[in-house]
A and B are shown apart, each in its own frame.
Chain A
């Protein structure tokens, strides 16, 4: 259970450059696809591979590609979502900055499959150094004849651009990303129409995550059927997990989907256990938007089986008893962590990042943050817990884009699993470390 595809050559010196990358077999999928396969055959392999979107929603990539409208005389586009801004997620940045050519090759093969002659990588604006690394890789690819007109004499042409993002988390939502790429304010679009029909400049467009696209050359090299053998069930292939929090070895790990969560947290191959010999309290398994689960629930499914790192196993138990693989941002919290404070921090983030188009998210995120701030200040009441619950339930599912849900789920799950901790903040404000700190800072006496 330790197949490495994306990061296999991460330690090869010079792998950032095209020379070392090619020595390790890089760009062989490009030659194979462009010279020996028809575009639809490439899509077919991706379908067979069972690859699912690595950006968070886990939608089957081959199916997404086959939905792309193909009207005559209208250009099609592939856009790579490299906006990575979900708290806890830092895998795309790692891949792009270390092996940029794996994304460039993936973009070429995928664009070929989709019949796109122009493709974009929309990269988070704050990651400017990665932008430069990609620019350099693209220049090398042009020089090697992998980009531009008539690639390798096959008659297929592709131009690839990197575009630095607008500096907002919401620009990672695919339709906001397209707006931003068009030079407008990054507001999510109201769907329908979907990007597959009307995307960039009103033309059919596929938006895929960095890791999704980087997996495509491996699928072409080994065949879709072989790729589908890696992993477990409908969770095929490998997945990058960015692990952080109170663990001994934070970092980016490539796992074969299906590794037991317990092994992932405790084995020395991965996170290496909880820091300072502490106990595990809770895990946010797929980036800040997914429901938080207490330690015992993340290790075991509701039926008592060991939980695995896979789309299905992590979501077993539904919303009440499970969570999601999401983007693979794995945040581990030890016994000393305040769930309430952590939630306040997450909620502050969503409040700050709401684009403000629709009322429930625009107004609800700020309201929830203010109430959580009352907990931090030590003057929340028990009623505030129910109010928070009610507000999140009125945001969820009522908004234009999933950011509303992403703001609601952490609140719902924290209250569901850690209600007593909220009550503790209400009943014993003086006991709480952060609050004592607050009172000390402000030279106040806690109220009883």
Chain B
């Protein structure tokens, strides 16, 4: 079993483990942010470049450093490899650059975005972003489209992580969903606005790290931080029926899969559970769900929100107004 050292912490991992997986085994601060990798989707990762790390020693056999930062999610560890993440200032500078690239064309319309509060891009920009954008040009915009009757695609917010494309290819039958065009006008779309209609297509919403794919049955119903996540389950023939219910006043506003520390689903859930079972009586409730790592929901009703770089209370007001306007 190869041994790898990440930010001065040594760990022994099974053959074929990637640097990112090894870092997650260590946990804590050494884990690089990952916007496109998704352990449950084959061939995911490599696109966003937020997970880059510096390899100062390639392996025990060949101790030369790697000439460029590597994508930790797609680079297997070698025995004797030495990796720097938080301990290399030049790497952090390079990562800030990647985050800036992800943000220059991003609308940052968090106040009216359903993802706000559980958005990985929001988290990433608190941690790695500049206070002020250096981009002075008009941001890219796309029309919102419906892909199927339950999913809304807001392409303007997409960071082209390709996760939903992998869901479409690996979980759904028929290839109806992919990337059109190239470069900075690439867009996620379906084949001639075909609807994505499949028992498992709803998982796209959960894998999307931003607010580009949202649940139309929940859109604008509530801010995430006003809802309480509860673990619940039901007998389901299609999936294991283990979900998170997002409730408010004993009403089920939204159903999602259960996500782990890194925002990944524990299991895929079917569209019936997700979209059609919105009565409390549909579910056996297990108890409150603990959500960590996420900035806003985990702050549990804003006691320590002042610590955050952005002023969420102001955002909340704008958000409420926007919701009224949008109704």
Contacts and interface: CB of A to CB of B under 8 A. Distances in A.
A355 B47 CA distance: 11
B229 interface: no
A360 B97 contact: yes
B183 A354 contact: yes
By size class, the interface of chain B is: 35 or more
B160 A362 contact: yes
B112 interface: no
B186 A190 contact: no
A352 interface: yes
Nearest to A356: B186
- Scoring A352, A363, A366 by chain B CB atoms within 10 A of each residue's CB, the highest score goes to A363
A356 B134 contact: no
A398 B52 contact: yes
Interface string A388-401: 00000110011110
B266 to A, nearest CB: 26
A273 interface: no
B46 interface: yes
A360 B101 contact: yes
Given A190-B74, A359-B102, A398 B97 contact: yes
A353 B183 contact: yes
A418 interface: no
Interface in B196-210: none
Contacts of A357: 47, 160, 162
Contacts of B71: 190
Given A354-B182, A355-B183, A387-B134, A363 B47 contact: no
A352 B183 contact: yes
B100 interface: yes
Nearest to B97: A394
Interface string B64-89: 00011101001010000000000000
A366 B97 CA distance: 15
B184 A399 contact: no
- Scoring B69, B98, B104, B182 by chain A CB atoms within 10 A of each residue's CB, the highest score goes to B182
Contact of B183 (A190, A192, A356, A397): A356
Nearest to B101: A363
A365 interface: yes
Interface string A348-376: 00011111111110111111001000000
A358 B100 CA distance: 13
A365 B184 contact: yes
B47 A358 contact: yes
A35 interface: no
Contacts of A351: 183-184
A356 B101 contact: no
17 contacts: A190-B45, A353-B182, A353-B183, A354-B184, A356-B179, A356-B181, A356-B183, A356-B184, A359-B101, A363-B101, A363-B104, A364-B101, A367-B104, A367-B135, A394-B100, A394-B101, A400-B47
Given A351-B184, A360-B101, A394-B100, 10 more contacts: A352-B183, A355-B183, A358-B47, A359-B98, A359-B102, A360-B49, A364-B101, A366-B183, A394-B94, A398-B68
